[in-house]
Amino acid sequence: MLIKADIMGGGRQAAQQDLKGVTHATNIPQLRLEPILARSARERNPARVLFHHEFVSLTQNADGVEAVVLDRSAGTQFHVRSKYLIAADGGKNSGPSLGVNMIGPTRLWDYAIVYISADFSQYIDDDTSVMRIIMHPTRLACSIMPAAC
């Protein structure tokens, strides 16, 4: 069974979604977005972008926040003080550090993401999507993103 849906601000939802923000919504896979963000971060703060590091926890007071960061290569931790912290870890550590719990169902399904370059034209008439999700009723889901994204 094939199901087609406009999601993430695309297709028929574009005009409505454009009213909700200052820029047009887009769906760009992490594979493409991460290098753009890393380049911009390096331009703004050379030699301060760290990879293979993990946010562990935070404490906050009237002066700002202090984050504990794990250097996964060395196995050591260090502290970073700042005025604020953007909690973009999906609630993994930042929420519990702040006493904020996720509500609602979690781990709705397991999935794998696969980046491939293949000709699916015999199966797909109009290839306007950014992503395909293949669902099996008893196994994990698989997201397929075209190499051209």
Per-residue pLDDT, 149: 43
Q: Same structural domain for residues 40 and 81? A: yes
Per-residue pLDDT, 126: 67
User: Mean pLDDT in runs of 10 for the chain (149 residues)?
Assistant: 63 79 75 89 90 90 93 96 84 79 73 74 69 67 52
CA 127 – CA 65 distance, rounded (Å)? 46
Q: Same structural domain for residues 96 and 37? A: yes
The pair of structure tokens assigned to 91 is 């609630």
Per-residue pLDDT, 79: 96
Residue 97 burial (C-beta neighbours within 10 Å; 0-12, 13-18, 19+): buried
In the chain, the number of structural domains is: 2
Per-residue pLDDT, 89: 75
pTM, rounded to two decimals: 0.57
Per-residue pLDDT, 65: 93
Domain that holds residue 116: 110-149
